Amino acid sequence: MENLFSSKHELISREDKEKLLNQKGVCLWLTGLSGSGKTTIAKTISKKLHKKGIITQVLDGDNIRIGINNNLSFSEEDRLENIRRTSEIGKLFVESGIVTICCLVSPTKKMREKAKSIIGASDFYEIYIATNLHECKKRDTKGLYEKASRGEIKNFTGISAPYEKPNSPNLVVPTENISIEESSEILYNFAIPLIIKN
């Protein structure tokens, strides 16, 4: 069968897509413990950006695991594969000029570096959603931390698996001390200059 995409120059370029959308595709990679507020912040900022006419796509770790990554466990190897697949999907959105917000615990530096290498350093922004373990446990409506403490969930970050705090993230959002709206505003103000094309 003939390869319809053999000539890359025949495809619509990223530059043309970004020009049409009047925005730059970037990846905001939200990392932090389960319950830190990653998904809630992502949904809130997505709505704020939408009101400004900016197209976004949220890739949430829980939803990704229900679908394309439903065959993966929480072993170190499968977690890395979870990051790889999500990053490859994210890269496609970014290259289409879409602001892509990825919400994954991504507990190790190795995992986050993997994501950065796939998406591309110039498009990747590491956002640390900084919330202590005690606060995350208080917010845990699903009872995941309790189950992990009883040994019902293996390799659960913060209980039976470590979380390596980012050494030099592009942005730190301290959600334990401020509201979701304030947290989202911090991320919004950080993101807007990256997204709006002059």
Residue 91, C-beta contacts closer than 8 angstroms, at least 6 positions apart? 27, 118, 119, 120
Q: Is 106 a catalytic residue?
A: yes
User: Residue 105 and residue 39: Cα distance in Å, rounded?
Assistant: 10
Q: CA dihedral in degrees (8, 12, 14, 15; nearest 10)?
A: 120
Catalytic residue among 106, 160, 179, 184: 106
Active-site residue set:
106
